[in-house]
Structure 1
Amino acid sequence: MKQKIWKWASLLPLSLVLLLSGCSENMLVMRPKGPVAKTQYDLILWSIGFMLLIIVVVFVLFTVVLIRYREKPGMENYEPEEEGNTLLEIVWTAIPILIVTALAIPTVKATFALEKPTTEKVEPITIHVTAANWKWIFSYPDQNIETVNYVNIPVDVPVKFKLTSAGPMNSFWIPQLGGQKYAMDSMETELFLEADEPGSYMGRSANFSGEGFTHMEFEVVAQTQKEFNQWVKEAQSTAPKLSETKYETILKPGLVGRMTFSNTHLEWIDHSKQNSHHAGEADEQARLCNPLEGNGIVVE
């Protein structure tokens, strides 16, 4: 019986390795491409390392106690001391406090530090982000450009994302550039991110918002400053104008392709400052989770 137990127990580490191997391709958080993501990555490693140390110490002590104090032939009966041990009670009260403190201090410091640009030497670029069922809309007020389902940013320049929603609450997340933050109707939250090398990075919603939630993804294109400036000039000169009618169509629940416009919807509505009349409709869609084909539209 004991041999069978040890046989199955020996397979547990192998099973864990096999399970974790299936996550290797999608663990984008562990491949940071910006200073914000790298700070959070360091926190993750610190927390994992610290917790592993605690686990090792606990299992070693557990093994020592099992071996040293196991019942042996001819062993006299042990009469427990019921009055307690003040020193031990202080120790096992202090240890959890020290553990929480060791994890909390770097986490709190990093959290407050990341609420502002990572550098003061470069002026941040501001991009308004509007979540809608089931797409992401990016507005560049200074460049007078609007994109749908993709966003271009310059490398080594802090980006100030101003998040809001034209419908139900969503969570804006670019795993390789930093953590997520909520986008809510009639509210505005800010998120500072930065890419430190050119590339294409996946972004998505991390908050369930209805039937099309799984397709609510966007691409972040990090470019050199020269490439970004060239893209801005091309978009300003070649992209069509966004009309209110077209914008109303985009906001309807459904999937859309990538779009680029040479003006922004901020000219006539800012969902962070006024209650969006689309919110009620979108919330209802999210609650009912109706099929996309029956209730939404697909805009090419």
Structure 2
Amino acid sequence: MKKTLRAGLPLLGILLGLSGCGMVVLDPAGYVAAQQRDLLVISVVLMLLIILPVMAATAYFAWKYRHDNLEADYQPDWHHSTQLEVLIWSAPLLIIIALGAITWIGTHTLDPYRELTRIEHGKVIPQDTKGLNVEVVSLNWKWLFIYPDLGIATVNELAAPVDTPIDFDLTSSDIMNSFYIPALAGQIYTMAGMKTQLHAVINKTGTYKGFSANYSGAGFSGMNFAFHGMKEDAFKEWVRKVQAKGDRLSRKAYLSLRQPSEDVPVKYYSGVDKNLFHDIVNRCVEQSKVCMNAMKPGEAGPKETELGNDRESVGANHANGNPARRNEPSANEPEGSKSRSQSAVPNTLKQEKRDEGGSPGAHATREGDNGDGAGNASGSGANTNGGGAENGGTKEPAPTD
């Protein structure tokens, strides 16, 4: 008896420890998370229709045909039953079909790039409803939240009014990460040089935990933040507090914030430099960098541009040129588009070639107007779309001996 009690003590300790864990996945506070909870429950129930009968039959046959049960039926020549075969194959097949249909519908309905049409079951979003736009940047090892429509930013704290659609645009400054608020919606990856999206809504007031769900280095375990679901008046008061207490998030301040740090406290910014998120996505926050969406085909990618200010490292001599920098939103972007793509300013590249003797050679001039580009990713993949136009220049043949 004592041995049994001692053996059960570790299990009791584990159960007591787990009793303090919240079942937030099964008790969500947002409409998207609630639909995911429903999918989880339905899938488990359907699978239990197979698992429970199999486990029960295993226990039943083990008991009935035990060694000392002399009254059990003995049929050594039995080998087939049509009725049993139909039952064994049809039940799992029907369940697999049902699971496949649910998965297909749920995958499209809960696509993180798909805008919400309801804020909860049976409650359609009015057409004149204005959502909350939030730009998310995962840093080492903290979270930066920019509110472009409000002109504020925060570190490791996020807030939103209840029953208001939230449109997240996400990227990473460096290492791939995962943005996850279990009470709000499913996790979504953040990746450097591209933008992912997530649409969600919070339906209950409260403070919920958000964190990184993807290992990203030494400070990963402390990469947490608080998400506040607030009434409209409380959210406006929170915005006023940020505007009153914070500093300005300039490019210089962002570059300082980007340095690796652990267990970073909450920080507020009362202002944000224009197009900062666009430049973070396109890897050109520094004045010396060329924006990814301003590059022409054949020019070096982001890895080479980050090696330094030496223009030869990007495959061309830009010493006499003026590389394209920050860009304004494209005037040709479709009305109502959620994309924050930018159009590049004209860029003129001049390159002087010399012959082996050092005498001036031919001069080549190329002028181009780059189109816009933005990177999108969902789940485990990414799609990058871009466009551009280039006007060819003239090139004189080099003199020959």
Q: Which residues in structure 2 correspond to 1:208-287 (within 5 Å)?
A: 208-255=215-262, 256-264=264-272, 267-270=275-278, 273-275=281-283
Compared with structure 1, are the counterparts of its residues 266 and 211 closer, same or farther at alpha carbon in structure 2 (3 Å cutoff)? Answer: farther
Give the Å deviation of 1:221: 1.2
Instruction: Tell me the equivalent position of 1:34.
Output: 30
Give the superposition deviation at 1:205. Answer: 0.2
1:56 aligns with 2:55: no
Q: State how far apart, in whole Å, the 1-side matches of 2:53 and 2:280 are.
A: 50
Question: Percent identity over the alignment?
Answer: 34
Contact 1:164 1:188 in 2 (8 A): yes
Task: For 2:284 and 2:146, locate their aligned partners in 1 and report how far apart those are by CA, in whole Å.
Answer: 17
Residue matched to 1:295 = none
Supply the distance in 2 between the matched residues of 1:42 and 1:21 (Cα, whole angstroms). Answer: 27
- CA shift, 1:123, in A, is 2.8
What pairs up with 1:84-163 in 2 under 5 angstroms? 88-89=84-85, 91-115=87-111, 116-117=115-116, 118-119=118-119, 120-121=125-126, 122-163=129-170
Distance of 1:22 and 1:230 partners within structure 2: 38
Whole-Å Cα distance in 1 between the matches of residues 10 and 52 of structure 2? 20
More moved, 69-78 vs 186-195: 69-78
CA separation of 1:98/1:275 partners in 2, compared to 1, >3 Å: closer, same or farther?
farther
Larger RCO (CA under 8 A, 6+ residues apart): 1
The residue type paired with residue 35 of structure 2 is T
How far 1:18 moved relative to its partner?
6.4
Aligned to 2:76: 78
Paired residues of 1:188 and 1:272 also in contact (CA < 8 A):
no
Aligned residues: 270
**Contact 1:165/1:185 (<8 A) preserved:** yes
SS of residue matched to 2:247:
coil
TM-score, with structure 1 as normaliser? 0.77
Secondary structure of the residue aligned to 1:236 is: helix
Greater share of helix: 1
Q: Which secondary structure state, in structure 1, belongs to the residue aligned with residue 187 of structure 2?
A: strand
Distance, in Å, in 1 between the alignment partners of 2:241 and 2:134 is 18
Of 178, 192, 203, which aligns to 2:199?
192
Q: Per-residue displacement from partner, 1:189-227 (whole Å, max 9, x unpaired)?
A: 111222112211110000000000000001111111112
Deviation for aligned residue 1:67:
4.4
Check the 8 A contact 2:162/2:202 in 1, yes or no: yes
Superposition deviation, residue 73 in structure 1: 4.8
Query: How many angstroms apart in 2 are the aligned matches of 1:54 and 1:73?
Result: 31
Taking a change above 3 Å as real, the CA distance of residues 25 and 176 of structure 1, as seen in their structure-2 partners, is farther
Q: Does 1:25 align with 2:20?
A: yes
One-letter code aligned to 2:192 = D
- Output the CA distance in 1 between the equivalents of 2:104 and 2:166: 22
Matched-pair contact (CA < 8 Å) for 2:172–2:193: yes
In the other structure, the counterpart of 1:164 is 171
Q: What does the per-residue CA deviation read over 1:8-50, in whole Å, with 9 as the maximum and x for residues that have no partner?
A: 8xx99x9878645533433322221121222222222223333
Helix, strand or coil at the partner of 1:48:
helix
What root-mean-square deviation, in Å, do the aligned CA atoms of Structure 1 and Structure 2 show?
3.2
Q: Which moved more, 1:137-146 or 1:235-244?
A: 235-244
Distance in 2 separating the partners of 1:245 and 1:277 = 9
Instruction: Give the 3 Å change call, closer, same or farther, for CA 96–235 of structure 1 in structure 2.
Output: same
CA-to-aligned-CA distance 1:239-280 (integer Å, 9 cap, x gap): 221222221111011122211112235534526641468997
Distance 1:185 1:90, change over 3 A: farther
TM-superposed deviation, 1:232: 2.2
Question: 3-state SS of the aligned residue for 1:29?
Answer: coil
What are the Cα deviations for residues 149-193 of structure 1, in whole angstroms up to 9, with x where unaligned? Answer: 101111111111111111111110111112111111112111122
1:257 counterpart letter in structure 2: P
Residue matched to 2:181: 174
Mapped to 2, the partners of 1:125 and 1:34 lie a distance apart of 15
Matched, 1:201 2:208: yes
In structure 2, list runs of 5 or more residues that go unmatched. 120-124, 287-301, 304-401
Aligned equivalents of 2:138, 2:160: Cα separation in 1: 18
Q: Is the 8 A contact 1:114 1:192 kept in 2?
A: no
Report the secondary structure of 1:59's partner residue: helix
The one-letter code matched in structure 2 to 1:178 is A
Gap runs ≥5 in structure 1: 281-300
CA contact (8 A) 1:33 1:176 kept: yes
